[in-house]
Amino acid sequence: MKAYTKYLTFHTENRRDYRNITEEISTALAESNVREGLALVSAMHITASVYINDDEDGLIADIDEWLDKLAPMRPDYRHHQTGEDNADAHLKNLLLHHQVLVPITDGRLTLGTWQQIFYAEFDGQRSKRVIVKIIGE
């Protein structure tokens, strides 16, 4: 069995951002030479997420609005008593999760027709990493 690891670094200009990273993951897969296996894509920060969905601007805006309704930015979070101001970002991470596992078939990511891999940043404006771990034959 082969194993391949690649780190991606993102530095967003805004506090919150959504980036389609499917191409970067496909590039990592090509570099790995794995034909059959699994690709794990995981945010290495607790205020960011990796998720799979459709790359459609309206849907991304809907996801952003939904997250704001469930975990709005507000000053009264207990986490803020530690000097932080990003409790909402931690909660948004819990809602979208921090990683995805994608099957690899015949050297390609096995995604559905509209499925794309996204990196979601909820407390940006600084560098953060994503690990891509590919295993298989």
Q: 76-130: per-residue pLDDT in tens?
A: 999 999 999 999 999 999 999 999 999 999 999 999 999 999 999 999 999 999 9
What would the two tokens of residue 131 be?
Answer: 């690990």
CATH class of 13-73+84-136: mainly beta
Closest CA to 49 of 116, 98, 118: 98
- CA–CA separation, 35 and 14 (whole Å): 37
- CA–CA separation, 123 and 90 (whole Å): 9
Distance separating the N- and C-terminal Cα atoms of the chain: 5
Domain ranges of the chain: 13-73+84-136
Q: Could you read off the pLDDT of 5-15 as tens digits, one per residue?
A: 999 999 999 99
**Model pLDDT, residue 101:** 98
**Model pLDDT, residue 23:** 98
Residues 42-51 have a mean pLDDT of: 98
Mean pLDDT of the chain: 97
Closest CA to 135 of 15, 41, 24, 20: 41
